[in-house]
Amino acid sequence: MAREMAWDDIKALEALLTPAGASEDDPTFAPKGKPIVTPASIGHEHSKGKHEAEKPEQVDPDFEVGDKYGRLQPEYEILYNQSVSANDVYFQMSGKDPSSLSCDTMVLRVKLPQTESVNDIKLEVKPIYIKLSSPIYFLALYLPHSVEANKSSAKWEMDKETIVVTMPIIRETFI
């Protein structure tokens, strides 16, 4: 029958395992081997070389974070489109899933109330970011996926006062 160890039993075991004359502060009896992993040791500076996708050269120096003229940030949403056939839906044999990794295009819908004309809107699409400006609104954001900027298209929905930007997603090949 097993019994629980009392405090005195634990101290007796410690005395038995600790060499004579050793103290708790003695560095020769500190644990050796791999360093201890703590929450503070997890992060970008501790994992150099592991994340190849995070390259500082992907940040564009022309990208403006904020608006220097005090314009409002419009309401926007990012949607994903996926080309699927009946075989994909019913047989699920193509390997596509509902995640954004299987999507073909990214659609950015930006609501621009009080915008009178599409000529008032300036739109700049780059592979990693998009900038939109008008006399009232300013939007600059990095995209969650790289896109083909030269194959992107925009459509103005006048009745909804919304611009819809459709951007084909660049898929990287995995080896």
Half-sphere exposure of 139 (CA within 13 A, CB side): 22
pLDDT higher at 65 or 109: 109
pLDDT higher at 28 or 110: 110
For residue 17, what is the enclosing H or E element? helix 7-17
Tell me the C-alpha distance between 100 and 81, whole Å.
Answer: 8
**β strands within the chain, DSSP E:** 75-81, 105-111, 122-125, 129-133, 138-142, 153-157, 162-168
Collapsing DSSP to helix, strand or coil, 126 comes out as coil
| CA nearest neighbour of 112 among 71, 53, 163 | 163
pTM above 0.75, yes or no: no
Residue in this structure with the two tokens 């500190």, named with its chain if needed:
30
pLDDT in tens, 68-103: 778 889 999 999 988 877 777 777 777 777 676 778
Segment among 3-7, 93-97, 108-112 with least mean pLDDT = 93-97
Tell me the C-alpha distance between 153 and 125, whole Å.
Answer: 9
Rg of the chain over CA atoms, in angstroms? 29
Per-residue pLDDT, 62: 58
pLDDT in tens, 28-66: 666 666 666 676 666 655 555 544 444 444 555 556 666
Contact of 140 with 65, CB cutoff 8 Å: yes
